[in-house]
A and B are shown apart, each in its own frame.
Chain A
Amino acid sequence: DGGITQSPKYLFRKEGQNVTLSCEQNLNHDAMYWYRQDPGQGLRLIYYSQIVNDFQKGDIAEGYSVSREKKESFPLTVTSAQKNPTAFYLCASSIRGFSTDTQYFGPGTRLTVL
């Protein structure tokens, strides 16, 4: 079955630690995205990538880093520089990354900083 997988589903981190969230898709989509969701709010874009080895910052990129070494994979690292990392993180992909393309979402990772 084609889709987007994210792991782990729940992640706990101690303050000062970096953690990496995994996102994999087998939809053969070119573009991938990372969003952050806080309670009672909509999603906000962290980073996006339209092609392998290229990515762009979204509105809230500070304290986060990404890589896109393979078309299928777009891992997100939450660094210790992110002041308030506790949130729900959603990965998405779209076929080409154009505004006409629908973004499809994975099941999300809930990160809690202890």
Chain B
Amino acid sequence: AQKVTQAQTEISVVEKEDVTLDCVYETRDTTYYLFWYKQPPSGELVFLIRRNSFDEQNEISGRYSWNFQKSTSSFNFTITASQVVDSAVYFCALIFSGSARQLTFGSGTQLTVLP
């Protein structure tokens, strides 16, 4: 069985602070893919990143960075110098190889960036 845990239900930070969103996953498969999506108040899920289980290189995209550690089954997301526009719900998700079906989502972290 697969499971994705986002233990942080809500986080509030002040603008320009750095913030890390945690994601821990469980899967018995050796080949799988991890995702982060952003859901702003409008509701649409916006794709941010996809990682496969064989690529543990960390990735940076502008103010966003991702730390993938198989040893701890974690795929954490850091926003540097947060901005008010970063306020949203962020979801971590998992899909294993061979599954054409579904993403397994975490319950999401509501991030509020205060001005």
Instruction: Give residues in A with beta carbon < 8 Å to B.
Output: 31, 33, 40-45, 48, 50, 56, 58-59, 88, 90, 92, 97-100, 102-108, 110
Question: Which residue of chain B lies nearest to A31 when distances are taken between CB atoms in the complex?
Answer: B100
- Does B9 touch A at the CB level, under 8 Å? yes
Question: Which residue of chain B lies nearest to A48 when distances are taken between CB atoms in the complex?
Answer: B101
Instruction: Give residues in B with beta carbon < 8 Å to A.
Output: 4, 9, 32-33, 35, 37, 42-47, 50, 52, 91, 93, 95-108
Question: Which residue of chain A lies nearest to B52 when distances are taken between CB atoms in the complex?
Answer: A100
Residues of A within 8 A of B93 (CB): 42
Q: A41-B107, A99-B97, A102-B50 are in contact. Are A33 and B44 (CB under 8 A)?
A: no
Q: Are A108 and B44 in contact (CB under 8 A)?
A: yes
Question: Which residue of chain B lies nearest to A33 when distances are taken between CB atoms in the complex?
Answer: B102
Return A41 CB to nearest CB of chain B, in Å. Answer: 6
Q: Can you list 20 A-B pairs with a CB-CB distance of less than 8 A?
A: A33-B102, A40-B9, A40-B108, A42-B93, A43-B45, A44-B105, A45-B103, A48-B100, A58-B101, A88-B43, A90-B45, A98-B100, A99-B96, A99-B97, A99-B99, A100-B52, A102-B50, A103-B47, A105-B37, A110-B43
Q: A42-B4, A42-B91, A43-B91 are in contact. Are A103 and B103 (CB under 8 A)?
A: yes
Q: Are B44 and A105 in contact (CB under 8 A)?
A: yes
Residues of A within 8 A of B106 (CB): 42
Interchain CA distance A90-B47 in the complex, whole Å: 14
